[in-house]
Structure 1
Amino acid sequence: MSSSTKALEPAFQGVGQRPGTEIWRIENFQPFPLPKSDHGKFYMGDSYIVLQTTPGKGGAYLYDIHFWIGKDTSQDEAGTAAIKTVELDAVLGGRAVQHRELQGHESDKFLSYFKPCIIPLEGGIATGFKKVEEEAFEIQLFLFARSSLNHDDVFILDTEKKIYQFNGANSNIQERGKALEVIQFLKEKYHDGTCDIAIVDDGKLDTESDSGEFWVLFGGFAPIGKKVANEDDIIPETTPAKLYSITDGEVKIVEGELSKGLLENNKCYLLDCGAEIFVWVGRVTQVEERKAASQAAEEFVASQNRPKATRLTRLIQGHETHSFKSNFDSWPAGSAAPGTEEGRGKVAALLKQQGVGLKGLAKSAPVNEEVPPLLEGGGKMEVWCINGSSKTALPKEDVGKFYSGDCYIILYTYHSGDRKEDYLLCCWFGNDSLEEDQKMATRLANTMSNSLKGRPVQEPPQFVALFQPLVILKGGLSSGYKKCIAEKGLPDETYTADSVALFRISGTLVHNDKAVQVDAVATSLNSAECFLLQSGSSIFTWHGNQSTFEQQQLAAKIAEFLKPGVTLKHAKEGTESSAFWFALGGKQSYTSKKFSPEIVRDPHLFTFSFNKGKFQVEEVYNFSQDDLLTEDMLILDTQAEVFVWVGQSVDPKEKQNVFDIGQKYIEMAVSLDGLSPNVPLYKVTEGNEPSFFTSYFSWDPTKAAVQGNSFQKKAALLFGLGHHVVEERSNGNQGGPTQRASALAALSSAFNPSSGKPSHLDRSNGSNQGGTTQRASALAALSSAFKSSPGSKTTTPKPSGIGQGSQRRAAVAALSSVLTAEKKSTPETSPSRSPPSETNLPGEKKMSFSMFLID
């Protein structure tokens, strides 16, 4: 971009210079920076521009620009936001990905900047909303009626002293768990962390007062109507992609199969995928052309009468996103521009486990592989070679020697933290191994995995570090390999102790000490490396002029491993003997090019699905440990390895397809993102995550230790680890007779004759004012008695020596004593109950509260 483009908008001067989020609100058709204290607050009458800057490779930054349109904003303001977004992109060099965000239909990437949620507020700049410092609790609250509730969603009712979560009977566990995250956010941000929290289940009346208090706020209990669908609820369908060219604001379809070759760098295009519409901008187009293309896309969406949830994304040539490229039949590997990866928001994770500070560290810095945590305490190594339909254990002295024509199973047993034993189970396939041997190795490894009670993590990373050293030999020992080369008439080059063999030392540290057998010719040498040359009973160490002292030490160690007690003959580059060159078939020229492979640790987390048989992924942006839901399987791609994380509650049949799913992802990422086809693939099970997996997260062991489904786990963490969460019952009023529920509700009302509302017990500070301790004890005893009937669930242990009948009698007696005492000390009054209202709250004074829908 020319320097003149940088003067398009003064408000954008100096932006995008550091990682983070920057926001502007459109005021009088001009962008004004929003202070950090207001980030996450979006007024419904306004439009905003949000810039997210993340580190990329080589020190470059990646940019995502979002323009957010409130439901009450004017068309002119929305148009201004779209135009200013193009100008902001020009200031950043024209390489940002741009996203249109409509209120209520925000993308996952946008929402990830404001976890756990954004809360749109009434009003806007045109309505003169109050300044931040003047805001009180009531200002950001909305008044809802019971008609807002339905059986399909989860709602949060936020009152001044208590936050309620209403779980619709048909809502799913993940929605309920997400709502608890929002409640925690509301509690800390708007209640100073001191308010009470209550869970209200649709169709159930609990023994506590929460359910009664909730319905009193609506004027009393009444049946809930069905969810009424409207335009906002329509989910756009994904359709076969169609490509259109945009010329002078006119949109014309492009015929033919979709391929990258159709996109010309001096034009703009529109890719219609149904649920999402992309605007692709050639790199040599001008700013005005880009503005016109964005406007044409807006008009195209309007003319098609698409649902509001249709996403609109604009991207520049060379910075295409994965979701865009996946629509094309061909996208040449390696055609991406540097730094095009989307969502690269995390630094090298292995540095975490080494205790290195992360702030301000360049992501392009190579990772210094030190002692992996799984090796710190030592462990037991067992290795088997696949031979036909069986496996043969390797003797201890051969552990670490792998033939390229064979397959192996490796089991490493070690101790991790407080666990008695952890296991790493791995299948290693040589490059020249047979497919049938690979399948047999996988089958036998799965059998071993089952016998180990599901504890092992298959395909451990840092594989080399387990052996110290690891030597890859030519040929194979298995009967299958021998038969295969004989049938093909190929010579058997399998390594023996007496053969002429040349080994390249590829390690740099003791824990990545590795040697690979290469062709025994002079052209295999490299001045930047060290080599071992075995010729009969002799072994030469050859040190290239550019090799390091550490490499030379590793060469000596590997020589001792191959031939214990051997006397080495040293050959520094330029001082080689005639015997050295004779063993290599004569002296020839060789390279001095230095290879410095960088270990990139830049993780992405994905969910996946199969749409009409096609494997598709969705990225989880700014991911955390909380995104690992026990009902799901997720894919973690670090570029150096691929993990498939399997939750405990995943269907057993789905668990059997873990490696098939991982392989499908790798094949897709190879074609679209240039991932190495030989990247290691790992399986990690919930509750048994090893340190080399958890290092990619800010891992909290207390969260990992909590049992239950997603909702139960988060409820236990919110209320305290000792808090019991009743198992979900999503089909109405199961789990107890209606008569019992009615009786308990009546008792709750009887306990509070003066207010007409159930009693409020402040569980957060332990206070039981007004004599509620005795009542609570009686009600708890009665609840225990009621719940101890056959088929019901109980969390209260039955006292020894007390039968079910006597337990109930004791509870009733205690309750009778409480009610009699209260009747004598309190004048009889009739509970004042306002009739149910769909528009107003009960009582003379309207109460301020807010309700949020979790969808």
Structure 2
Amino acid sequence: QVLKLSNNPLTHFQLKQLPVSKKLRVLILRNTHRTLSNIPYSFEDVLNLQELDLSMNELQSVPDSLYALKQLRKLDLSFNKIAKIEFPSGVFAFLETLNVSGNNLTILPAKIVNCQKLQRLYASYNKLTFEGLPASFGQLLQLQVLFLSNNDLELIPEGIGRCVKLRKIKLENNRLITLPDGIYLLPDLKELDLHNNPDLVMPPKPSDKEKAMAFYNIDFSLSNQLRLAGQSPGSSVDSLSPGKTSQRDFMQRKKDFIRRRRCQADQDSASKVIQGMSKVAKDAHEQNPSMEADDAHLRPTIGWKEKMEQQKPRLDYSDVFDASTGSTAGLWVWEIENFYPLLVDPGFHGQFYEADCYLVLKTIRETSGSLTHAIYYWIGEKTSLDKAMCAAVHSVNLRNHLSASCRTIREEMNDESDEFLEMFSEEIVYYDGARTQSGFYAVEKIAFSKKLYRAFVNGPSVEMEAVPLSPESLDPRFVFLLDCDKIIWIWNGDCCKQRSPKKPDEPIFEHVSEDRKPERRRLYEVQLGMGFLELPQVELRNGVLHKELLKPKGVFLLDCTSELFLWVGKNSNRLTKMAGQKIASELHRMIERPDYCVIYRENEDEESTIFRSKFAAWDDIVPFDFTMTADTVKRRGADIKVIMERDKMKTDLVALFLDRLPAMPHSDTEKIIEDFNMDLEVIEPFVLEGKKFVRLPQNEFGIFYSMDCYVFLCRYFVDDEEEEEGEEDEESDVSDESDQENGGRDKRKNEGTEKAGDFKCVVYFWQGRDASNMGWLHFTFSLQKKFESLFKDKLEVVRMNQQQENHKFLSHFKQKLVIRRGRRNPSTSQNIDSSASELFHVRANGTSICTRTIQVDCVASRLNSAFCFILRVPTTDIQGDDGVDESGQIFVWIGSKSDSYYHKLAEQVASELINRDTDFSVLRIEEGSEPPLFWTALGGKKKYDQDADFMNCTRLFRCTNDKGYFSVSEKTVDFCQDDLESEDVMIVDNGEIVFLWLGERASEVEVKLAYKAAQVYCGHMQMKQPDRPRKMMLSIKGRESKRFIKLFHGWNKHKVPMGSAENAF
């Protein structure tokens, strides 16, 4: 029921019968002189009232009787004399529209936010201020319309940005200064009225960078990452006193306010110019509306043929159609095979196969001498999709090839046009099948074999055992499962009597013994040995299989006697897969098995249910919360900050905020080298020659080749606690001479020969970056076994790659370590090519322990004033003025900015190692005083770097998702080229440029997250080192710039793994 009493003088009408109207739904009392005295005292019986209009009356407050209206959806109290509104808890739960405009309100009730269904709020023409608006305004999530015009508002609450459904906001005629930044984040906002707010300055729009701050739901802001790393965002910059800080913040806010106002003024001026130009154009159009039509009439129209000719692609069709095609009058027919047209012999014209497609070209010479073309493509009834598609595409290609203006016409089987039939004299023959092959691969479904399984209880789990597919296998005490591909039958022996089954032809007897247990499962791992296949058995803890035993890089065999499973990992190589198939066949044949036993192939992540049932706790059920309702989803999606905080991905960027390790002083380095060599008793070097390891000559100790493998057997003295106590007691009786270092070492060596257990042997295996892994296999199967038989548990094997050696190993060479390119030649005394000059770079990364002398390209551009270089010029490169060969020369080039600590060391390396097989003269030269022969040997004088400040700043970070989340870790200061991993993204900092190095197999997720991490690092270094701003540059594997290459000692071409696509080419 609806009752409308608007605009009636009902001053003395009490509406006493109103509470009896239980079906009343709408009540309109607009302008009826309602006061608190003539309002009904109770609305408890008006249960269905949904709309109440009390506007334009004389109410001074909200009548208490209105709070009993539980179903009220629309309440209009506008243009009364209400000065204050109070909303008790739990009232107006379904209120959607509230109009309190035209009153004397100075504050809105705080509990208005409890009206969760409120969609429209009208509060214009009041005396509202910023303090009068509820702080929790953002809880009105369903609010769509908000009218607050003609008030005294200077600001509006920040929570308005969370009212994501707002479509219309009116704030005109206020005293607004600015708006919250969240106003830009309202996606459905259509109308925003801000007229007559003279002091208003709009906030700056959020930039795209700020919008993309939460990348993959990760906050990459510098302040957040510093907080996660345990540092204060302002710890890297100088702090100010509290008084100055507050004063600075106040001044900064004032400056920002003035800047935004000026920017707003400029924008207003620009908008006025645009409005003026638009108005001029509009007036001109209104005065002469036919001007545009006249202009359009003057422009010539383009026909469809000319437009098609302009848009025709310029492609080369010579590989598809012959140049003579269509050049003379005649008929051509092509058939589609493997996506391309093949010309049909003229003798077969008119013969079409129902599963094929054809192209037909008819060329006619006109009386004028010009050629006209007609192009058709014929589609068979049973043709495949690729043939039909290619026929349509190649018909267009044929038209473009002929530069014809005709259309391509589609002809279908049994529905050909008369023009098409006339080309074949109306004689067309259809044949069944197809004459050509489809370009698609044909999928052949593997024939399914039925299987019968017997279920038995094994502890807390139920396991399935394969049995022969025969009625004799059934036993009434067990449950059987018959797998028929699309239908699975479950036979329950214990419940047969309750279900009245059909009586079988023969009775079923109990034939399975009581103590019957399935065969023990055995898991084998397929491995490739030296010329043979290995099949070691995997040890099972408590005889239980677990999913973790299956490795993605391996191939495994699961032998259940009656079943044989071959499991293939995703990352296993092709040879291992083939070996697994071969071993599975041999294992099936060697061991006596039931006739129904077959080999099942299981691929990783595609395992069958039967295979998974063999393993404990292998559950592939996808978890899903079925308790979520539509209201829950709405509540979850309302506050985006809560969602992002709850679903935030884990990251680890702590390494980006740690300080770089400081360089070690040379005095400490020498002491460490001395300590490491103190306990060294014997060191025996070996080198791989062919397939055997032979002793390395003593004069070659410290010289390595990048294509060879070396083994160093080191015997160390081990000092026991008892011996240390004994030595302390005998210190007073030892003579002064015995206190010397050499005497002490001799004494410990003599004691070590008498006692067992006072020494330790470490075998270092060194592999050059260009050497194959066969050297390691030869070592593990030959020399390592000999060492293990001799030293047993006192042996330790350490494998190292070139430029990735540990400090203890490097200390044994006492900074004299040379790495040459190529392979060692044992047949001659001189292992190097005597016909070419060689250049060696002496460099130490982080500490002088890591000093290496590495051969580099023999060009002048590789020089650097901050290092020492050794140039070996052989005899054949030196000729006198009379053309007679002179003796060779070795130059030790000293850079003008190099450390003097390495000058003498470079001369010793040149004399002892570089010049070990020759008697060349060694000449030390300073930068700037080079003889002409020096530049001649380097191929001419070229520009080179004059400094190496990057040595004090260079850092290498690895970005990876190996841990299950994005993490950044720092490599050691002594990094090399091989530390750049192709599966990851690396961040390299040289103090000026931050390089983002992309590996060829890095995932897209890693690339995006690494880019954001590099931005965070640049921002942190800008705060920490404001005098050294960083720039970001991209570096891709195989395309590195010279600025990137010089950061790595001994840079060479990237190593290509054997069997890869790059190596194949």
Q: Same fold (TM over 0.5)?
A: no
Q: Higher RCO, 1 or 2 (CA under 8 Å, sep at least 6)? A: 1
Question: TM-score, normalised to structure 1's length?
Answer: 0.30
Q: Rg larger in 1 or in 2?
A: 2
Question: TM-score, normalised to structure 2's length?
Answer: 0.25
